[in-house]
Structure 1
Amino acid sequence: MIDRSRARLLTWASILTGLLALLTVLVIGEWQRLIDFDVETSTELTDWTRQHDGLVDVLKIVETATDTIAAVIVTALIALILLVKGQRRAAIYTVGVVAISSGITHLMKWLVDRDRPSWHLLTEQYTNGSYPSGHATYIVAIAGVLLVLSQMFLRRASARHLVAVLLVLLVLLVFADRVHLGRHFISDVVAGALVAIVCVLVGLVVFSPQPKLQVEAAAAPLVSSVPASSRDLHVVLNPIKVDDVGQFQAIVGAMAAEGGWNEPVWHLTTIEDPGTGMAHAASVAGADLVIVCGGDGTVREVCAELAGTGIPVGIVPAGTGNLLARNLDIPLYIRSAIDVALTGQDRAIDMVDVSGDGFDDTHFMVMAGMGFDAAIMEGVNEDIKKKVGWLAYVLSGMKSLMFPAVRVEISVDDQPFTKHRARTVVVGNVGFLQAGMPLLPDASIDDGVLDVVILHPKRFLSWLPIVWRVMAKRNKTDETLDRMTGRKVVVRAASDTPRQLDGDSIGPGRELVMECVHGRLLVKVPR
């Protein structure tokens, strides 16, 4: 809906407005066929409801939950959440659609002044006009707004479809509520729905809820670490991470043109090459900016290849974890992320060189781990992950929660090894993991050092105080939770142990050697 042309949106709005006008003329003119249909259908449904006392009580709850007071509260909460998330235009759109549709409904009630059905079931009698239904207008308006927001913020088509189905069921419930209680005729409900849909569509035409490019609002030009000479833009895209590659390319192309960039040059990753070759090709071609869209694995490959080149990287997170983007405060909404990638401030961040047994020398941007956390990554069912996203990690975590403790030795900055028992050892370049958990609260991605946390809960219930200490950012350390900091970290396990880099399993082994490379990569971050 949000990517439809204005002409198409206006066409549909005009058609629905015409239907609303026709219905209104028929109601005012008391067209007999419409009156007979309204009366017969409404009385039958109300009589059937009268025979089920429990159903009347349920419908009364539905009526109260969608009345004017509830409408104002829910609309205000949605707008407040959007404002906190930095989506000011979406918040204005939400309030505007609900307020204008409600205003039109009340004006039509006054102009048409249609009497309400006389066979209502509840003792409280409404005295204002019956046409159109205010409850129907509100529920369709808020459902339309939420449908628009879901298309903006939910990347998975399955999630958007689920939201749409739930919203349709909610709308039908309220429609049934108005007729079964004898509060409205069916034509009242239809008219209320038409008013709301027209407002949703016209709202998209006159005031897009999508954020505008930051460059339009910039008070002064930003200083680039490496000034772009030709404004050449290259994009590395993992095609399986977006629903419609063509649509994504069109969005990036339009926003790039608006920001003064040349037509993007596209590089699509493959199973054989997750991003390294594409980033190399962009570098050789003289790119002034490379945007990477994909999960943490794709982002890691592209960033590693461009490290040290002076070419800034714009990150459009499209994976499940998106840990690097989250720690850089890059928005997860794709259009906003593209905006930051095109117009954000350059920031030099650290990356980490990694070596060990059983794999070629590589790197990570976010974290490495041995033990429980790596076992979670190994145990994730990819089919479930595609359907429910990060919940797949929760399911795997529950199965791996009591991963057996292993003996490990840790050396920091070439100092003597210290011995520990641990269920997991995490070495991080950032502070926050999934769900905003501050596992390494003192870590910073540009401080030139790595932060280490060693967790050793002795039994299942021991996880509870550890989680409390982590969430509360307590500095206390002991044998269940210990911390270290240094530029170089070596972790050795007494037996083969699962290992992961940036959430990708690299197989079991006994050693990880990690060294922080300070300020190695330029990335675009919010102003």
Structure 2
Amino acid sequence: MTFLFAINPASGGKAKTDWEAGITDYFNNSPHTATLLHLNGETDEEALRQHLADLRPDRVVAVGGDGTIKFVAEQLLDTGIPLGVLPAGSANGMARELNIPPDVEKSLDIVVNGILKPIDVIVLNDNDICLHLSDIGLNAQMVRHYQQNNLRGMFGYLQSVLKVLRKRRLLRTSINRGDECIQRAALMVVLANARMYGTGAVINPDGDPSDGVFEVVVFRRLTIWEILKLFWRFRPFDPKNIEIFPATSVSIEMYRRAYFQVDGEYRGRVTKLDARIQPGALTMLLPPDTAPA
């Protein structure tokens, strides 16, 4: 088989030399071939499309975090080409969700020998997709601060938490699921195609990225302790402070502009968000013994 590895050198704020060396060593004595494409943040879309056309790879592998996975997935939607993951980012939420280990050799074993699994995507405003978690409000504001500072990893997240906590405000939202319209004041609203953030904080216990639905998670109240759970693995959130609504489509309106992020990438401030599920649009390579049902 032919493998194309799309490597984001800046993902997680760390050099990817260990991952590249691991890929090279793994394929040295293999009947398969591996091509490495280094992303540069400027001509990535054109370069990836050209490599897909020229190589016609059997499998494409994203080497990076959630943003890298999302970028590669956008080019593979509805193509049938399987997407593998080497979790080389700072949080690696999607990899954690899919039980892909952070070890180079073990994750490469899944890329080569894993099972194929159709995964849903959430289509946002008809011009973007979400594989993992998107949200408006508090966490999106944290993501904005995190991307603006120079400190990465958990210390960078903590610095962003402290900034946002001083300014947190409730959003007045209207959530239309078609058969009902829900009015809520919330600190944040999450569109969840999965169970947890990359830090391990479980916000949607019954989430499954391959069940044909997503969940709207409304955080009505959050203590400081619960906010910190967004960044470290503790118990699930208090169900008295959150509501979870399953949906296949939803339209959310805010009465003032709200911070918005998609799969860990800040998207700006919005007053309206439309979302719908696209079942099984992406084929991914997962561990054979831990794949979601």
Normalising by structure 2, we get a TM-score of 0.87
Q: CA deviation at 1:248?
A: 4.0
Alignment of 1:18-167 (within 5 A): none
Residue-by-residue CA offset, 1:387-430 (whole Å, 9 max, x unaligned)? xx133112212322351001001112x23422110010011100
1:51 maps to: none
Residue-by-residue CA offset, 1:27-56 (whole Å, 9 max, x unaligned)? xxxxxxxxxxxxxxxxxxxxxxxxxxxxxx
Q: CA deviation at 1:303?
A: 0.8
1:409 maps to: 174
1:308 maps to: 78
Q: CA deviation at 1:306?
A: 0.4
Q: CA deviation at 1:300?
A: 0.3
Structure 1 contact 424–455 (Cα < 8 Å) conserved: yes
Structure 1 contact 368–428 (Cα < 8 Å) conserved: yes
Structure 1 contact 236–278 (Cα < 8 Å) conserved: no
Question: Given the superposition, is the C-alpha separation of residues 461 and 397 from structure 1 closer, same or farther in structure 2, using an over 3 Å criterion?
Answer: closer
Q: CA RMSD in A?
A: 2.4
2:216 maps to: 452
Question: Given the superposition, is the C-alpha separation of residues 420 and 236 from structure 1 closer, same or farther in structure 2, using an over 3 Å criterion?
Answer: same
Letter in 1 for 2:139: D
User: For 2:29 and 2:237, how far apart are their aligned partners in 1?
Assistant: 43
User: For 1:301 and 1:272, how far apart are their aligned partners in 2?
Assistant: 13
User: For 2:257 and 2:243, how far apart are their aligned partners in 1?
Assistant: 22
Q: CA deviation at 1:314?
A: 1.1
SS at match of 1:320: coil
Structure 1 contact 345–525 (Cα < 8 Å) conserved: yes
Residue-by-residue CA offset, 1:165-187 (whole Å, 9 max, x unaligned)? xxxxxxxxxxxxxxxxxxxxxxx
Considering fraction of residues, name the structure with more helix: 1
Structure 1 contact 256–342 (Cα < 8 Å) conserved: no
1:482 maps to: 243
Alignment of 1:164-179 (within 5 A): none
1:368 maps to: 134
Residue-by-residue CA offset, 1:237-261 (whole Å, 9 max, x unaligned)? 112345254x643431331244421
Structure 2 contact 203–236 (Cα < 8 Å) conserved: no
2:50 maps to: 281
2:25 maps to: 254
Question: Given the superposition, is the C-alpha separation of residues 292 and 507 from structure 1 closer, same or farther in structure 2, using an over 3 Å criterion?
Answer: same
Q: CA deviation at 1:497?
A: 0.7
Letter in 2 for 1:408: T
1:390 maps to: 154
Establish whether residue 526 from structure 1 lines up as the match of residue 291 from structure 2.
Answer: no
1:243 maps to: 15
2:291 maps to: none
SS at match of 1:493: strand
Question: Given the superposition, is the C-alpha separation of residues 321 and 250 from structure 1 closer, same or farther in structure 2, using an over 3 Å criterion?
Answer: closer
- Which has the higher relative contact order, 1 or 2, with Cα contacts under 8 A spaced 6 or more apart? 2
2:61 maps to: 291
In the alignment, structure 2 segments of 5+ residues that lack a partner are 289-293
> Which stretches of structure 1, 4 residues or more, deviate above 6 A after TM superposition?
none
User: For 1:511 and 1:326, how far apart are their aligned partners in 2?
Assistant: 30
Q: CA deviation at 1:366?
A: 0.5
Structure 1 contact 259–343 (Cα < 8 Å) conserved: no
Structure 1 contact 283–306 (Cα < 8 Å) conserved: no
Question: Given the superposition, is the C-alpha separation of residues 462 and 323 from structure 1 closer, same or farther in structure 2, using an over 3 Å criterion?
Answer: closer
Letter in 2 for 1:505: Y
Letter in 2 for 1:252: I
1:429 maps to: 193
Question: Given the superposition, is the C-alpha separation of residues 244 and 429 from structure 1 closer, same or farther in structure 2, using an over 3 Å criterion?
Answer: closer
Letter in 1 for 2:31: G
Considering fraction of residues, name the structure with more strand: 2
User: For 2:144 and 2:103, how far apart are their aligned partners in 1?
Assistant: 28
What count of residue pairs does the alignment treat as equivalent? 279
Establish whether residue 331 from structure 1 lines up as the match of residue 97 from structure 2.
Answer: no
Question: Given the superposition, is the C-alpha separation of residues 289 and 436 from structure 1 closer, same or farther in structure 2, using an over 3 Å criterion?
Answer: same
User: For 1:400 and 1:418, how far apart are their aligned partners in 2?
Assistant: 26
SS at match of 1:494: strand
1:495 maps to: 256
Question: Given the superposition, is the C-alpha separation of residues 348 and 259 from structure 1 closer, same or farther in structure 2, using an over 3 Å criterion?
Answer: farther
User: For 1:337 and 1:461, how far apart are their aligned partners in 2?
Assistant: 35
Residue-by-residue CA offset, 1:427-482 (whole Å, 9 max, x unaligned)? 11000113322100011010010111111227x56958x99xx92576x55xx421
SS at match of 2:102: coil
SS at match of 1:520: strand
The percentage of counterpart residues that share the same residue type is 22
Establish whether residue 516 from structure 1 lines up as the match of residue 277 from structure 2.
Answer: yes
SS at match of 1:279: helix
Q: Which protein has the larger Cα radius of gyration, Structure 1 or Structure 2?
A: 1
Q: CA deviation at 1:343?
A: 2.0
User: For 1:330 and 1:367, how far apart are their aligned partners in 2?
Assistant: 17
In the alignment, structure 1 segments of 5+ residues that lack a partner are 1-230
User: For 1:327 and 1:462, how far apart are their aligned partners in 2?
Assistant: 23
User: For 1:307 and 1:461, how far apart are their aligned partners in 2?
Assistant: 39
Question: Given the superposition, is the C-alpha separation of residues 341 and 457 from structure 1 closer, same or farther in structure 2, using an over 3 Å criterion?
Answer: same
